[in-house]
Amino acid sequence: MVRKTTPHDAHDSHFPLSAGVLFGLGLGGFFDGIILHQVLQWHHMLSSWYPVNTVENLELNTFWDGIFHSATYLFVLAGLFILWRTARTKHLYWSSDLLVGTMLVGFGAFNTVEGLVNHHILGVHRVNELVAESQRIYWDIGFIVWGVVMLVVGYFYVRRGQRKFEAVSAAKRSPS
């Protein structure tokens, strides 16, 4: 079914920023869960509270890793749903800058919030529990700094994408 574009659609054709942020949150969680929890085995979801030194604690941590992965999966599904719904109902302005920027914002937000809340406030785990206790803070700080850098770079990509969108919209509105 083809839908006619109306003048209102021109103002409504923004890339759905929330979709990219949700993709970034999900992908940030997947990176943490797959790379840090499973491949490198630096930590598990609750490994500071329940060290992985018994089968029972490993089972508990693995269960909560699965809950964590399920939540990140839901972020990706929500992002996909928003993107799909928006793209099907409007003439969408597709922008690599906006997609990359919002995904970096989401990924960076994941790292920053997860680093502050889980590593420092709740203390459920540290980024790298295989290094000496005295070195763990550096890994935790690096994780947060990495998140903040992604947030900042993502912000600049989003701003650039928005400026391009505004330029395209202005060109379409001006008489030829």
In a domain, 90, yes or no: yes
Rama region for 138: left / alpha / beta (φ>0; ψ in -120 to 50; rest) = alpha
In a domain, 143, yes or no: yes
In a domain, 173, yes or no: no
Residue 117: what pLDDT? 95
Mapping DSSP onto H, E and C, the string for the chain reads CCCCCCHHHHHCCCCCHHHHHHHHHHHHHHHHHHHHHHHCCCCCCCCCCCCCCCHHHHHHHHHHHHHHHHHHHHHHHHHHHHHHHHHHHCCCCCCHHHHHHHHHHHHHHHHHHHHHHHHHHCCCCCCCCCCCHHHHHHHHHHHHHHHHHHHHHHHHHHHHHHHHHHHHHHHHHCCC
In a domain, 169, yes or no: no
List CB contacts of 87: < 8 A, sequence separation 6 or more. Answer: none
Number of domains in the chain: 1
Task: Tell me, yes or no, if the pTM score tops 0.75.
Answer: yes
pLDDT in tens, the chain (176 residues): 444 444 444 455 788 999 999 999 999 999 999 999 999 999 999 999 999 999 999 999 999 999 999 999 999 999 999 998 888 776 777 889 999 999 999 999 999 999 999 999 999 999 999 999 999 999 999 999 999 999 999 999 999 999 998 888 888 787 76
In a domain, 9, yes or no: no
In a domain, 2, yes or no: no
In a domain, 158, yes or no: yes
- Residue numbers of the domain that contains 24: 16-163
In a domain, 23, yes or no: yes
